Amino acid sequence: MKTEDLKTGFWGYQKFSVMQYITALEAEYSAKLLEKDQESHLLLEQEKQRVHQLEEELADLRRKYEAQEREQHLISSTLMEAQRYAELMKAQSEERQQAAQKQLEEALELREQAMQRYDARLEQLREQFRSMLREMDEAAEGMSQELEHARTEAPDNNMSMFCRRPELVV
């Protein structure tokens, strides 16, 4: 309804016509308001759905973030543990190497001492053999001289006691 449609009377607009106009305006605005209300309600529902969707995405992202954080923490703790283990293994390896080196040095020292004892014993045996050979040589020299002396002293160089009988020799 338009303002031109209002019926006029002697003193202005007719009361009924104004009421109809107001009612028509009210109905029009109520319809527009209802339409706006429905649109806003629809938008509100859409926004609620969007908020719900975003909250779900946020919760999902939080879960992923927490999982990544746990994984990162696990990786860093694993790396730290691996470093500690590597250091421990290195220390143990060095200890074993030092122990093996010490054991080898001790074994070499024992063998060297044994070799020195063997060398000393060999030198002692050599000296004993030299001494025995000198004594034998001196004894043989003495016997040779005695034999030579006995030959020269024997009558007519008769050495019959040293002669062999051919019949006894087989």
Q: Is the pLDDT of residue 107 over 70?
A: yes
What is the chain's length?
170
Indicate left, alpha or beta for 158 from its phi (over 0: left) and psi (-120 to 50: alpha).
Answer: beta
Q: Looking at residue 147, what is its pLDDT?
A: 85
Contact 159, 151 (CB under 8 A): yes
Residue 14: which residues within 8 A CB-CB, separation 6 or more?
A: 6, 7, 8
Q: Is the pLDDT of residue 158 over 90?
A: no
> What value does the mean pLDDT of the chain take?
85
Q: Is the pLDDT of residue 17 over 80?
A: no
Query: pTM (2 decimals)?
Result: 0.41
Contact 145, 151 (CB under 8 A): no
Cα end-to-end span (Å), the chain: 177
Q: Looking at residue 166, what is its pLDDT?
A: 53
- Cα–chain center distance at 109: 36
Q: Which helix (H) or strand (E) holds 12?
A: strand 12-13
Residue 5: which residues within 8 A CB-CB, separation 6 or more?
A: 17, 21
Sign of CA pseudo-dihedral 112, 113, 117, 118: negative
Mean predicted confidence (pLDDT) in 15-36: 83
Mean predicted confidence (pLDDT) in 129-157: 84
Q: Which helix (H) or strand (E) holds 9?
A: strand 8-9
Domain range annotation of the chain: 3-142
Percentage of the chain beyond pLDDT 70 is 81
Task: Indicate the pLDDT class of residue 11, thresholds 50, 70 and 90.
Answer: low
